[in-house]
Amino acid sequence: MRKLQFLIVAGVLSFTISCGQQKRYISYKVQEGETIAEIAKRLQISEGDLLRLNPDINASLEGNYVIVIPNPAIAKSNLGDEPSYAVVTPDEKDTKGQVESTDEDATSTEEEEVYETTVITNYETHEVQAGETVYRITKMYGISKTDLMALNPEYPGIKSNTLSIGQVLKVKANRETITLNKKEIVAQFVTHEVQPKETVYSITRFYNISKPDLVALNPEYPEIQNDAISAGQLLKIKRKDADSTDENRSFYQDVIAENTSINVAFLLPFKATEYDTLAPAAIFKKNTLANMVTDFYLGATIAMDSIRTQGISVNESVFDTGNRGNQVERILAEDRLDAVDVVIGPFYSDKVSMVTKKVDVPVIFPHFSSKQSNLSSSKLVKAAPEKKTYAAYLTAYLKENYQGETIFVVGDNKTNSKSIGKEIVADLKKHDSIGDIHVLNPKDGYIKKSRFTEKMSITHRNWIIITAENEVAIADALNSMIGLPEGVTVQVFAIHKSKGYDKIDNNKLAAMDFTYVAPYFADENSPELNAFYKTYRVKNNALPSEYAIRGFDVTYDILMRMASGNELSSTFKDGVSFRLENKFDYRKKMFGAATNTGLFIIQYNPDLSLRRLK
């Protein structure tokens, strides 16, 4: 028989204590070297009571940590002239163990604070042993069979007196109240206030944390384990890190204004006139553009259908821009875009400026182009991240996670590779702890393995950052990572997964913990992605391509943001959105375009699955 604790929230009561009212609890900043036991002794309360007021801490504390303690003024009014414990001041200037008097006048001058009290239930439990019966267990704990059934709805067999050895049954419920200082939680943790319709999955996906981690950080909300959360709950995500680059970006909340209607125009190069005499099989066989454009639009149609089911009126107009966009000028000249609210397209970058100069609505350039960095207009929205941002995103991740690794930057002597390599080295060296970085480029056409091994560390991991684009240089560097000396471990990073990596055996990449930057990430556990696959397959008798998913994501995100009733550009300040596989984190220049900076850091797992690191 043993005891296990399960926490179940019975109710959440938030209350504001105004200036001039006595506060039941005050804040105290822990001094260097203090422990929970010492503070509890000075307060003349039990260590357990103090821990219940501060469920996020344990018996060991760090200096400057802020905890909640009972207000001595309340104790004085309840217990007589003298409080049953000393006053521990939260003033930063006070030294360890200092005390001062607290009265109602002092309380009235403090800022308004908000506390959240949570009623939780601690369960005593019993593990079923061989030969035990329902009757025996109820008699052992003095409860009825009905009580046992109510406490353990997950075991319906109790009703028919059926038990299994090893089952852990709840046999007694003990309710208690804990108090959380929301102000201090926000100061010390990255937090998230649950919004209507949000799920545990959507929150863990946005913050890239596991459900077990979310449960462990929020023991006051144990129902998270069963995917149950409530609007208004303040969830702790992680402790704040001064070096983190993502903490200040919020989660965009989809909001739909009443009676919303959106007119959207698609400018896509279907080239119907050219294909008019060809059979479908001939059109799509080995025709990358035809497949790309068609798949994008098919994905977009599912997005529009999904938007409509949520009560939003979506009116679409589709224009065939012809070969190389040669019909764009005619479409604009005929003023066929005058009545639309947003334009998705054109596909060709050299036609974008023509469209932004003519229309007075947002123009969405939906995919990546090597020429998109030259495009600039206050009406333009670039839905794909610039390639030049990939290196900075990777180095930000490396600086956040650096723990003494030996760093190599591997190029191919090409201008672009050298330029990116210099940027990475300069950026990494901004980290106080990063010293020498080994830059390796081919000599006589290749890089000798010994140039790596003679500088590799045995005591720390080795990071190999490849900036090379040349396929031979990539293969050469990766082959050098095979058969390393005993005790040497590596992790290989790429700015992006170019075609050169497609020719490398995935098992080799996994063995090197191959990690790269990507503009999209497919989570196989995503219910939304699985639903999209099912819908697409039913409608089109085929599995969706990358472009079909992108068509859905770009269209759905833009239309949903516009459905808020706000200007599209203003919604970019309201946070980052995750759709099926794409992340949209738009940054807008004052007089220029808005560009998506949403990227992922992805790593190969040993079983060849992919894991999102950031």
pLDDT of residue 71: 61
Predicted pLDDT of residue 35:
77
pLDDT of residue 22: 42
The yes-or-no verdict on residue 108 having pLDDT over 90 is no
| Position 411 pLDDT exceeds 60 | yes
Q: How confident is the model at residue 89 (pLDDT cuts 50, 70, 90)?
A: very low
Percentage of the chain beyond pLDDT 90 is 34
- DSSP for 516-552 reads EEESB---TT-HHHHHHHHHHHHHHSS---HHHHHHH
What pLDDT is recorded for position 130? Answer: 92
Q: What are phi and psi of 82, to 5 degrees?
A: -110, 130
pLDDT score, position 140: 92
> What is the pLDDT, as a whole number, of residue 191?
86
pLDDT-derived band at 409 (thresholds 50, 70, 90) equals very high
DSSP for 111-144 reads: PPEEEEEEEEEEEEEEE--TT--HHHHHHHHT--
| Complete domains list, the chain, with CATH | 19-111 (3.10.350.10), 119-239 (3.10.350.10), 261-385+526-601 (3.40.50.2300), 388-518 (3.40.50.2300)
Quote the pLDDT of residue 281.
65
Task: Give 145's pLDDT tier (boundaries 50, 70, 90).
Answer: very high
Residue 597: pLDDT band by 50, 70, 90 thresholds?
A: very high
Q: Please report which confidence band the pLDDT of residue 107 belongs to, taking 50, 70 and 90 as the band edges.
A: very low
**Average pLDDT of the residues in 558-570:** 93
Report which of residues 197 and 610 the model is more confident about: 610
pLDDT for residue 491 is more than 60: yes
Cα 159 to the center of its chain, rounded Å: 43
Task: State the pLDDT confidence band at 525, using cuts at 50, 70 and 90.
Answer: confident
Q: Is the pLDDT of residue 24 over 70?
A: no
Does the pLDDT value for residue 267 go beyond 90? yes
Residues ≥6 apart with Cβ < 8 Å to 207: 190, 192, 237, 238
- Residue 585 pLDDT exceeds 90: yes
Name the average pLDDT for the chain.
80
When pLDDT is averaged across residues 577-605 and rounded to a whole number, the result is 90
Give the integer Cα–Cα distance in Å for 584 and 430: 28
400 has a pLDDT exceeding 80:
yes
Could you tell me the pTM of the whole model? 0.65
Q: What is the mean pLDDT of residues 475-489?
A: 88
Please state, for a pLDDT cut of 70, what percent of the chain lies above it.
Answer: 79
Task: Give 375-414 as a DSSP string.
Answer: ---TTEEE-S--THHHHHHHHHHHHHH-SS-EEEEE--S-
DSSP 284: H
What is residue 16's predicted lDDT score, i.e. its pLDDT? 29
